Amino acid sequence: MKKTNYTEEGIAKWFYNYIKPHKIWLIGGIALSLIIIFVEVVLAYYLKQIIDLALEGEKGLFIQTVLYMAGIILFSTAIIYFNRLFLIQFAGKTTKDIRVAVYSHLSNISVKYIEKNNGSEIAARQNSGITSIEAFLRYQMPELFFQPLRFLVAFACMLYIDWKLTLLSSMLVPLAIFLGNKISKPYGSYYNELNERQGSKGRIIQDAISGLSILKIFNLEGIFAQKHASIIDQEVNTSLKIFKLNSLMEPVQVVLRLMPFVLCVILGGYLITQDVLTLGTLMAFLQLQNYIIEPMNKIPHLIRDVRGIEGASSYIRELLNETIENVNETDSSEVHIDSSSENVIKFNNVSFRYRDEGEPVLNNVTFDIAPNKMYALVGANGSGKSTIFKLITGLYSVSHGSIEVFNRPLDERNLNTIRQHISLVSQDSHMFPMTVAENIAIGLPEASTELIRNAAKMANAHDFIMDLPNQYDTIVGQDGMNLSGGQKQRISIARALLKNAPLILLDEPTSALDKSAEQSLQKELDILADNRTVIVIAHSLSTIMKADHIIVMNQGEVVGIGTHEELLDNNLVYHQLYKNQIASHDVAIPGDVAN
Amino acid sequence: MKKTSTLKDYIALLQIIKPRTIPFVIGTVGHGAVSASIYIMIGLIMKFMVDSAVKDNSRYLTYAIILSLATAVGAGILLYAFNYLRNKCAKHAMADLQKKVFTHIEHLPNRYFEKHHSGEVISKLSNDIGSIENAFTSNIYMIVFAVFFGMGSIVSMFILDWRFAVLFIAIGALTSYVNVFFSRNLRKINDKLLERLGKLTEKTIDLISGIVLVKMFPIRKKFIQQYSDLSEDTFQSYKDSQRKNAGIESMNFFINWGTYVLTLVIGSILFLSNSREFGTIIAIGQLLNGVTFLFGSINTFIGNLHAPLAAASRIKAILEEETEHLNGSVVVRYADNNNECIVLKDVSFDYDDGTHVLDNINMLVKQGEIAVLSGPSGSGKSTIIKILTGLVPIKHGEVYVNLKQFKSGLSSETSVLQLRNVISYIPQNAFLFDTTIRENISFGRLGATNDEIIMAAKEAHAHDFIMSLPDQYDTMVGSNGVLLSGGQKQRIAIARCILKNAPIILMDEATSSLDPETEAVVQKALATLIEGKTVITITHKKESYGAADVIYTLANGTLKEDRMVIS
Ligand SMILES: Nc1ncnc2c1ncn2[C@@H]1O[C@H](COP(=O)(O)OP(=O)(O)OP(=O)(O)O)[C@@H](O)[C@H]1O
Ligand SMILES: Nc1ncnc2c1ncn2[C@@H]1O[C@H](COP(=O)(O)OP(=O)(O)OP(=O)(O)O)[C@@H](O)[C@H]1O
Ligand SMILES: [Mg+2]
Ligand SMILES: [Mg+2]
């Protein structure tokens, strides 16, 4: 992952992209803010009027002015309400867009990224990052425009009233900027740290929940509580650092609030005694002064908050910068599966590694898969069988060698189009927390109930589903926790069968099935293989022997391709792998007969 | 969902700070009092200043200057200290709360998580805790500040002119009603918002954990659509809750300015009749900020408490969830002379959702025996293991585990926790925690030495592949071990079980993902491991029946026993 150093312009640009469609609300909000500023100035002016009028004893004008003020106050109450509504609309809509953008980005991001990063960690960091962004958009972002404007307007008006007093009271602005900037330097990294901690918490909570049985049976409650506590303690440490800085801002605030006031009191008092200034003017001035004191007070906070959001949002921004999968959108070519073509899949000297260091997982792998045949992929654990499936489906991409799927190099194709034509049963059957029917229907979202049931029957799942409390409408729970191991596996087979693709990839599809379920699935596969290409990864001999061709893998290399008999005769790896099973298997072993 | 918060909710919220009440109160009250006094000082300074101008007396001016300087220095230091103190207390309280919730979650029955998605829990522990923290770092402080500011102003006002004070208390009290109007339903809206935020986290976790399915099956569009709809709903909830605040804020503007003008009008009338000093009126005008702030804002702040109150009661609900029964349905006994190790007597079992699994089954595994448990998929084999380990409670029947007194100092009847101490387990799906290989194995027996860990790995035939990984034993396995191959994962789980070396071993398809060659080696290693131990092994493979003393076949809820005749 590339660590980008975000500059203020960088983050402004980033935000602008998401703000753009909703900027009308922001502009509206700011426009209303301007009215509010204007109203405030007018109110201050009337205040001066009232006081001066009261002192002069002008009753008629006094009452008129009071009525004006009342009208203006009513008017601006409405304005304030709408100002808030606009800003809510702005922040809410923009946040929604960012949320959905992150989600759809995640759905397109490479599997490599997802596997390297814990899912719940991602979700927790995303949640906390977006919460911060929302608050920033709603409160601080408008302030970034509002406060300076307010300052300038008030400043101008005050200049008009008395330039000496004005300069005196705004003397501290550079100080405010300086201190705010100084104090808030580390905020960005602190907030990023906090976001990271949220992620670690998410990860450990997820682990504790999905591993709850193991956690309990191995009495791991204590150690996990400790791990969790240490994350919390780190979080507290970071927060305390933030609080220290925040507290440091308090005295700065006092100075910024009181100093202009004191200075004006001294000078203003003097000017009044010199009859240069009327009391009313000074009062109006002091009222206006609030409008520069407040922005001045907020400057350090705003600087801090911008730094904070830089840190709090940096994860989201990095995530959105993460390269998405090579989904070649320009490729609109249809996939033609014609049975006369020689190969469905062609691996050409493919080498592959997951990590940058260490031995490659696949080494110069070359093989062809002919259409409408059934292949078995066998080999020891970790020899790279599942990896081959990940490459065929484009979940990972290769750096050396080339892979052709449906007669065209994989990297030229739109992965989405390719994947439409592949049914995959992964080694561990994943379930979404939805109903059984919905879990099967992800294979073909528009499928009728009839089709779903047929697929379930083919996968030998229909009977057990009908025994579930709500049959096809039974909720399977997160990761299918309400089902048994074999039931999950059959649902994931049903889902792949429902998809009805010309290329079927099965990664140990019967590892959790009993013998009879395994045999009936084998029968189905036999029928399917008549007009489809099937590749099955398996350890059990009974499945392997059904295949037309067997590809033997060893430590990332293909060491033999042939039929069971051929391989037994002349493939040492294969022979070694199955010598135990063969001994107990009731099938006659050709090699033995020859002896 | 409750419409409003009750007293109980307030108590639940306030109890969170309990062990730190004193420093928290000192910090909050101190901070509030000092901040408020600054504003009150400004009012007084103004009075002196105006008086000095009107009366042409520079003594008042000096007062004003001294007062400001003293305020600046004193308040600066105090504010720093108080602010830090109260925030620190709040943060520590949040830390304790989170730790407490986490420990509680660990002890909840598995059943809880069938109804509650991990995303919901994660979201609660982030959004709700954040919300509660906000109450202590901000909302409560603001209330205290408003009270001080308001009270201070009222008192000062009384001193200056009691008639004004009475007048504004009356106006202030009236405005409270306006605010109450706006905070109706706020609680309900916030509950909904938090719930939807939780759902968003759930959806994200679902997407990521099922990413391969999302890529391989035509469901991406649907998922994005669902998420987008949910985001829209969340936005609506957000809007609802914020709109309330907008109403309150604009009303407060009205009240603030309205009363300010009113003071001036009344003050001017009084002044015109020459009964008051103008400086006093100005000061009152300034002090009025405090009074209107108190009455105008306190309701805002109390309204803002609804979110933390909702959060606190949600967290409290988790903490009140019943934990696993430690004296569960498994009766553990230590008896040297009883050679019946595992006994199930007339056990029937249904899951909560009504799935009927076991029907009056009886099972007996003697000390040192190996029992094979077989049966079709879904017949309830794994469920029997869950019962034996106390993960699910049974309602009918009895389960006994009799142990040789292998450790002194244990009572004769003991809890589930001690039962689990004597059980080693290999799960059907090798679950690995997202940490290093070393730590995953070490979970078998905490405190095992490195050599012991390596020995266990060797026996599970895992050492070689571990050593070929770039970081060897320090390799991170990823979320649920995604960075390893299926068979590698399973061998780590086996190593974990071997390291535990407990007298009872439960294996659920322990070698299902292993290749035949590795399987043979591992089976051999397991055979030595289980010698002299009591074993239940679930398998579909007939080949493994060889060493069994007894074979149980489970089908349609009933158990068939097949005892080998020892020749
Ligand atoms: N996502 C990953 N990141 C890093 N390494 C990986 C990843 N997935 C697999 N590996 C490593 O690549 C090698 C091949 O793994 P693969 O899953 O292809 O094996 P396999 O032949 O399917 O084995 P099994 O029969 O155990 O499933 C293993 O050494 C494994 O540790
Ligand atoms: N948490 C649960 N809630 C509700 N029903 C469940 C739950 N866990 C399992 N079941 C149901 O109980 C029955 C028995 O499940 P169990 O996991 O014990 O089967 P099994 O014999 O281990 O099967 P397999 O060989 O497929 O692993 C199944 O019908 C399953 O759907
Ligand atoms: Mg594999
Ligand atoms: Mg099972």
Q: Angle B220-272/B186-209 helices, nearest 10 degrees?
A: 150
Quick one: which atom of ligand 2 is closest to the CA of A467? 29
Q: Does B84 touch chain A (CB under 8 A)?
A: yes
Do the chains contact at B71 and A386, CB–CB below 8 Å?
Answer: no
Please state, in angstroms and as integers, the Cα–Cα distance from residue A162 to each residue in A157, A159, A267, B207, following that order. 9, 5, 11, 63
Min Cα distance B401 → chain A (Å) is 15
Cα separation of the two ends of chain A: 58
Instruction: With beta carbons under 8 A apart, name residues in chain A contacting B83.
Output: 243, 246-247, 250
In a domain, A105, yes or no: yes
Ranges for all domains in chain B classified under CATH 1.20.1560.10: 7-320
Q: Mean pLDDT, to the nearest integer, of A240-244?
A: 88
pLDDT in tens, A161-189: 777 777 877 777 787 788 888 888 888 88
For residue A493, what is the domain's CATH number? 3.40.50.300
CB contact under 8 A, B231 and A247: no
Ligand 1 surroundings by CB, under 6 angstroms: A 115, 354-355, 361, 379, 381-387, 427; B 482-488, 513, 515
The residues with which A549 forms a beta bridge, in sequence order, are A375
Instruction: Kindly report, residue by residue over B142-190, the tens digit of the pLDDT.
Output: 888 888 877 777 787 777 777 777 777 776 676 666 666 666 677 788 8
Residue A560 lies in a domain: no
Q: Does any CB of chain A come closer than 8 Å to the CB of residue B61?
A: yes
Which residues are placed with Cβ below 5 angstroms of ligand 4, an ion? Answer: A 484-485; B 382, 428
Q: Reduced to 3 states, what is the DSSP secondary structure of residue A376?
A: strand
User: Which ligand does the CA of A387 lie closest to?
Assistant: 1
What is the least distance, in Å, from the CA of B395 to any CA of chain A?
19
- Which of B38, B126, B268 has its CB closest to that of A257? B38
Within a domain: residue A120? yes
Residue B87 to residue A111, Cβ atoms within 8 A: no
Question: Taking a contact as any Cβ pair under 8 Å apart, which residues of chain B between 144 and 183 contact chain A?
Answer: none
- How many angstroms is it from B511 CA to the middle of ligand 4? 13
| Per-residue DSSP letter, B325 | P
How many CB atoms are located within 10 Å of the residue B158 CB?
Answer: 14
E strand or H helix at A562: strand A557-562
The overall average pLDDT reported for chain B is 80
Q: Give dist(CA B558, CA B328) in Å, integer.
A: 23
Ligand nearest to the CA of B487: 1
Whole-angstrom CA distances from B172 to A339, B247, B294 are 86, 18, 8
Q: 3-state DSSP call for residue A339?
A: coil
CB contact under 8 A, A223 and B443: yes
Which residues between 9 and 48 in chain B have a beta carbon less than 8 angstroms from any beta carbon of chain A?
Answer: 38, 42, 45-46
Residue B359 contacts residue B557 (beta carbons within 8 Å):
yes
**pLDDT tens per residue, range B202-247:** 999 889 888 888 888 888 888 899 999 999 999 999 998 888 888 8
CA torsion sign, A11 to A17 to A21 to A27?
A: positive
Q: Which of the 8 DSSP states describes residue A414?
A: B
Q: Which atom of ligand 1 is nearest to the CA of A539?
A: 25
* Residue A326: other Cβ atoms inside 10 A: 14
Cβ–Cβ of B80/A62 closer than 8 Å?
no
Contact with chain B for residue A523, Cβ under 8 A: no
pLDDT at A231: 92
Confidence at A586, pLDDT banded by 50, 70, 90? very low
Query: Would you say residue A330 has pLDDT above 70?
Result: no
Q: Are A175 and A299 in contact (CB under 8 A)?
A: no
- Secondary structure element (H or E) that encloses residue A533, with its range: strand A533-537
pLDDT at position A156, please?
83
Q: Which two tokens stand for residue A341?
A: 């073509």
CATH code assigned to B327-563: 3.40.50.300
Distances (CA, A) of A419 to A324, A346, A400, A404, A415: 16, 16, 22, 13, 6
Angstrom distance (rounded) from CA B448 to CA B442? 6
First CA to last CA distance, chain B: 68
Distance CA B149, CA B294 (A): 7
Sheet strands side by side (includes A533-537) = A422-425, A503-507, A533-537, A374-379, A549-554, A557-562
- B349-393 tens-digit pLDDT: 888 888 888 888 888 888 888 888 888 888 889 999 988 888 888
* Pairing relationship of beta strands A503-507 and B340-350 according to DSSP bridges: unpaired
Residues B78/B29, Cβ–Cβ less than 8 Å: no
Q: Are strands B558-563 and B370-374 parallel, antiparallel or unpaired?
A: unpaired
Tokens of B539: 């398998």
Contact across the interface for B389 and A202, Cβ inside 8 Å: no
Query: Are A34 and A156 part of one and the same domain?
Result: yes
> What is the structure's pLDDT at A88?
92
**Residue A200 distance to chain B (closest CA, Å):** 11
CA A536, A542, A548, A551 torsion-angle sign: positive
> What stretch(es) of chain B map to CATH 3.40.50.300?
327-563
Q: pLDDT value at position B271?
A: 58
**Backbone dihedral angles phi then psi of residue A332, each to the nearest 5 degrees:** -110, 5
How many CA atoms lie less than 13 Å away from B203 in the CB half-sphere?
25
Residue A481 to residues A121, A210, B111, B207, Cα–Cα distance (Å) = 21, 9, 10, 17
Asked if A580 lies within 8 A of B203 by C-beta distance, the reply is: no
Task: Give SS3 for B510.
Answer: coil
| Same domain as A167, residue A301 | yes
| Tokens coding A283 | 């009062």
* Pairwise CB contact (< 8 Å): A116 & B203: no
Contact A122 B98 (CB under 8 A): no
Distance of alpha carbon B460 from alpha carbon A173, whole angstroms: 70
The answer to whether B53 touches A272, Cβ cutoff 8 Å, is yes
d(CA B184, CA B205): 34
Q: Is residue A562 part of a domain?
A: no
Question: Is B354 an 8 Å CB contact of chain A?
Answer: yes
By three-state DSSP, how is residue A554 classified?
A: strand
pLDDT tens profile A463-508 = 889 888 888 998 888 888 888 888 998 898 899 888 888 888 999 8
CB atoms within 10 A of CB A452: 24
209-248 in chain A: CB under 8 A from chain B:
209-225, 228-229, 232-233, 235-236, 239-240, 243-244, 246-248
> Which residues on chain A are in Cβ contact (under 8 Å) with B261?
50, 66, 69-70, 73
Q: Is A478 in Cβ contact with B420 (below 8 Å)? A: no
CATH number at residue A69: 1.20.1560.10
Q: Where are the alpha helices (DSSP H) in A313-362?
A: 314-321
Last residue within a domain, chosen from A301, A321, A341: A321
At residue B474, φ and ψ (nearest 5 deg) are: -95, 10
Q: For the ranges A451-455, B175-179, B506-510, which has the lowest average pLDDT?
A: B175-179
B426, HSE (Cβ side, Cα atoms, 13 Å): 28
> What per-residue confidence (pLDDT) applies to A148?
84
* Residue B39 clears pLDDT 80, i.e. is over it: no
**Pick from B104, B101, B193, B97: nearest CA to B136:** B97
Q: Which residue of A has its CA nearest to B270?
A: A54
Q: Residues 6 or more apart from B308 whose CB is under 8 A from it?
A: B13, B131, B132, B134, B135, B139
* Alpha carbons A26 and B319: distance in angstroms, whole number: 42
| Residue matched to tokens 């194995």 | B441
Residues with Cβ < 8 Å from B428, sequence gap 6 or more?
A485, A512, B382, B508, B509, B512, B538
Residue B59 class from Cβ within 10 Å (0-12 exposed, 13-18 middle, 19+ buried)?
exposed
Farthest-apart Cα atoms in chain A, separation = 129
d(CA A454, CA A460): 10
Tens of pLDDT along B267-301?
A: 667 655 555 566 666 666 666 666 666 766 776 67
pLDDT computed for residue B1 by the predictor: 46
Residue A492: domain span: 429-500
* Dist CA A452 CA A358 (whole Å): 45
Chain B nearest CA to A204, separation (Å)? 8
Residue A326 placed within a domain: no
Cβ(B73)–Cβ(B11) under 8 Å?
no
Nearest to B118 among A74, A210, A244 (CB): A210
Please name the residue of chain A whose CA is at the shortest distance from the CA of residue B512: A511
User: Beta partners for B343?
Assistant: B364, B400
For chain B, what is the radius of gyration of the CA atoms? 35
Tell whether A512 is within 8 A of chain B (Cβ). Answer: yes
Q: Which ligand is nearest to the CA of A384?
A: 1
Structural tokens at position A167:
């300069």
- What's the rounded Cα separation, in Å, for the pair B537 and B529? 13
- Read off the DSSP letter of residue A589: P
- Asked whether residue A258 falls in the same domain as residue A121, the answer is yes
Ligand 1 midpoint to CA A296 (Å): 60
E-assigned strand segments in A25-123: none
Q: What are phi and psi of A563, to 5 degrees?
A: -90, 170
Task: Mention every residue, 6+ apart, whose C-beta is less than 8 A from residue B48.
Answer: B60, B61, B63, B64, B67, B279
Confidence at residue B52, expressed as pLDDT on a 0 to 100 scale: 65
Residue A366 lies in a domain: no
Tell me, in angstroms, the distance from the centre of ligand 3 to residue A461's CA: 23
Q: Locate tokens 């040192």: which residue? A: B368
Please tell me the distance in Å from B345's CA to the nearest CA on chain A.
22
- Distance, in angstroms, between A493 CA and closest chain B CA? 12
Element (H, E) at B505: strand B504-508
Q: How far is it, in rounded angstroms, from Cα B353 to Cα B114?
A: 10
Domain count of the fold of chain A: 2
> Which pLDDT score is estimated for A103?
93
> What is the interface size between A and B, counted as CB pairs within 8 Å?
474
> How many A from CA of B206 to the centre of ligand 3?
22
- CA torsion, points B444, B445, B450, B454, in degrees to nearest 10? -40
ipTM: 0.86
Rounded to whole angstroms, the Cα distance separating A155 from A152 reads: 5
Q: In which order are the strands placed within the sheet that holds B340-350? A: B356-366, B340-350, B396-403, B330-334, B413-414
Confirm whether A514 is domain-assigned.
no
The C-alpha atoms of residue A379 and residue A362 are separated, in whole angstroms, by 13
Q: In the listed set A445, A475, A500, which residue is the last one of a domain according to the structure?
A: A500
Which ligand is closest to the CA of A539, given by its number? 1
Chain A residues within 8 A of B178 when measuring between CB atoms: none
Ligand 1, atom 22, residue with closest C-alpha: A386
A515 neighbourhood in chain B, CB within 8 Å? 540, 542
Report the nearest atom of ligand 2 relative to the CA of B110.
1
Pick the CATH number of B7-320 from 3.90.180.10, 1.20.1560.10, 3.40.190.10, 3.40.50.10320: 1.20.1560.10
Q: Which ligand is nearest to the CA of B381?
A: 2
Whether residue A52 is contained in a domain is answered as: yes
Together in a domain, A195 and A75: yes
Cα angle B350-B119-B316, degrees, rounded to a multiple of 5: 80
pLDDT of residue A5: 47
**Spatial distance between the Cα atoms of A160 and A151, rounded to a whole number of angstroms:** 14
The binding-site residues of ligand 2, defined as CB within 6 angstroms of any ligand atom, are A 481-487, 512; B 114, 351, 353, 355, 357, 375, 377-383, 428
User: Residue B250 is nearest to which of A84, A124, A424, comparing CB atoms?
Assistant: A84
Average pLDDT of span A33-41: 81
Judgement on whether residues A436 and A299 belong to the same structural domain of the protein? no
